[in-house]
């Protein structure tokens, strides 16, 4: 019981720390913007900040998921948290960095497999994500090869509820 309490305390302290990077390992990819990682030995669901990727069953959803699976294969990652640590589903909200300096959130957008989902220009990495989208549109990458998605992931989710 003491070990469980200690692990829980460490996890809560990590969640309370402001915007610190934290090392994590992949357990599985749920979809283009959600993953399950192990942090401090515990499985935790993580939602990528700043983006919205097509959902499972939506056009380009499979491609986004496969991209994340390939991008994360055999890697260790650092998570960078925003000012809000969790969403209403209790998922951690994070920027997802690889040791080579690549940002998964940005790479998904730049490859036309996600769109920006940021409410304020003050959000960290706002410019980076929007520049990635401009590059994807110019190169007609991913779903931009067809002019974009028929429905944004948010619109698609609303129709499926």
Domains of the chain: 17-160 (2.40.50.90)
Does the reported pTM lie above 0.75?
Answer: yes
The total of other beta-carbon atoms located within 10 Å of residue 80's CB is 17
Cβ neighbourhood burial of 63 (10 Å; 0-12, 13-18, 19+): middle
Per residue of the chain (161 residues), what is the pLDDT tens digit?
Answer: 555 544 443 454 454 444 445 778 899 999 999 999 998 889 999 999 999 999 989 999 999 999 999 999 988 889 998 888 899 999 999 999 998 999 999 999 999 999 999 756 657 888 899 999 999 999 999 999 999 999 999 999 999 87
């Amino acid at each position: 019981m003491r070990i469980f309490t200690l692990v829980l305390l460490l996890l809560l302290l990590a969640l309370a720390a402001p915007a610190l990077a934290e090392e994590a390992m992949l357990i599985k990819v749920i979809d283009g913007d959600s993953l399950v990682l192990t942090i401090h030995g515990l499985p935790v669901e993580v939602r990528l900040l700043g983006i919205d990727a097509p959902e499972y069953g939506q056009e380009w959803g499979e491609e986004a998921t496969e991209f994340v699976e390939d991008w994360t294969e055999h890697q260790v990652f650092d998570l960078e948290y925003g000012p809000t640590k969790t969403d209403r589903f209790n998922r951690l909200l994070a920027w997802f960095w690889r040791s080579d300096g690549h940002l998964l959130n940005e790479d998904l957008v730049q490859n036309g497999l996600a769109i920006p989902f940021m409410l304020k220009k003050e959000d960290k990495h706002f410019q980076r994500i929007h520049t990635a989208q401009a590059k994807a549109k110019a190169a007609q990458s991913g779903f931009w090869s067809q002019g974009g998605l028929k429905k944004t992931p948010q619109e698609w989710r609303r129709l499926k509820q």
